[in-house]
Copies of this chain bind each other. A is one copy, B any other.
Amino acid sequence: MGAVTEQSFVEAGSAMDGDLPGQVRDTLATYLEARIAECETLDPEITKAAETLARFVLDSGKRIRPTFAWWGWRAAGGPGEGPEAEAVLRAAAALELVHTSALVHDDLIDDSDTRRGKPAVHREFATRHSNARWDGDAKHFGMAAAILLGDLALTWSDDMFHSAGLAPDALARGLRPWRSMRTEVLAGQYLDVLGQVRKSPTVHSALRVNELKSASYTVQRPLELGAEIADSSSPTLEALRRFGSDIGVAFQLRDDLLGVFGDPAVTGKPAGDDLREGKRTVLIAEAFDATHQHGDHRAADLLSSVLGDQTVDDSRVEQVREMLRCLGAVTAVERRIAALTDSALEALTDGCLAEPAVTHLRELAVAVTERTR
């Protein structure tokens, strides 16, 4: 019969293996609808605020973390349908609420105007304040609302995870990565903030932030979560961890490149947004390293002056882009992405992981490291 093609692997999967983003969205919609109905007993204003949160969750999002959690479950031999699989999908969807909380609070911390091409939550509530001509400072009201709605999303993520319907032993195993992940993402965000205010970031410290904030949080822990719920063997878990760690860092490196070179029409963020925010990414750290090696003080000064400067215009962004290319920082980051992706794909080949998960993880690895948004 010859070798099995990729396509036939995919077809060997269950109905639940298809359109995971759509299924995750539907699961979230059902959950949030019930929570909003409960809010109606509290106060109409709470219902309104919770509806805003729900729109933010449901309107868009790539559902990367729930998708990795699903494939972790399937890679470790978890069935692709039935009540257990449905409980796993609900537990995986809860990751999206953790992520909502992180985005809402992150946008506030970074003072970002937009998210996914729409006003960030703190801006949305500041606008409501202005439109209604309420007392006090609109920006401050926006901040307060964003803090509280981010907290609500974090709280509901736990409620959703614990009420997903996992068997007690599966839940206990899943709680290990769940617990680690939620501390690690906050740790990564804190180190990120600290990196922005401290002088002279190193490639090493920028990579540490990436490991915590992205590798662990976006890929590795979600994969582990699914695998642990499936009562994975140690070699399977180990292979998923290796894959997840590499792809997660590569994912963030791609994000760093998009933060400077991305097309606003595609990313939904202004051009060169990371420069304005003064983000100390691996890309920036590589550039500083190169200026030191070449003794190029002019380039170092230009980069320092642009980072965190809110008033930087498009022509100056273009100037920095050109410089990052000339210094070899872009090539260095692309090389890292390629090496990490190769290493991740190799981790999939050692035979511990079940199909069709391997095929889908291979596709996801390429998709998240070559994406344009």
Contact = CB atoms under 8 A, between A and B. Distances in A.
A135 B198 contact: yes
A183 B50 CA distance: 11
B158 A45 contact: no
Contacts of A43: 187, 191, 208, 212
Contacts of A154: 151, 154-155
Interface string A32-43: 000100110011
A129 to B, nearest CB: 6
Given A135-B198, A136-B197, A136-B278, A147 B105 contact: yes
A116 to B, nearest CB: 20
Interface string A183-202: 11011011101101111000
Interface in A134-159: 134-136, 140-141, 143-145, 147-148, 150-152, 154-156, 158-159
Contact of A183 (B152, B168, B175): B152
* Residue of A154, A186, A208 with most chain B CB atoms under a 10 A cut-off: A186
Contact of A148 (B143, B189, B199): B189
A189 B38 CA distance: 17
Given A135-B308, A196-B136, A191 B143 contact: no
A48 to B, nearest CB: 10
Tell me the interface secondary structure of chain A in the complex: helix
Contact of A190 (B45, B168, B175, B190): B45
Contact of A184 (B42, B162, B190): B42
Interface string A15-52: 00000000000000000000100110011011001000
Kindly report how many copies of this chain are found in the complex they form together.
Answer: 2
Contact of A45 (B156, B159, B191): B191
* Residue of A101, A145, A159, A278 with most chain B CB atoms under a 10 A cut-off: A159
Contact of A196 (B45, B135, B148, B190): B135
Contacts of A148: 105, 109, 186, 189-190, 193
Nearest to A98: B155
A303 to B, nearest CB: 13
B184 A147 contact: no
A191 to B, nearest CB: 6
A108 interface: yes
B151 A187 contact: no
A262 B208 CA distance: 47
A35 B180 CA distance: 10
B155 A182 contact: yes
A179 interface: yes
Interface of A: 35, 38-39, 42-43, 45-46, 49, 101, 105, 108-109, 111, 129, 134-136, 140-141, 143-145, 147-148, 150-152, 154-156, 158-159, 162-163, 168, 175, 179, 182-184, 186-187, 189-191, 193-194, 196-199, 208, 212, 278, 308
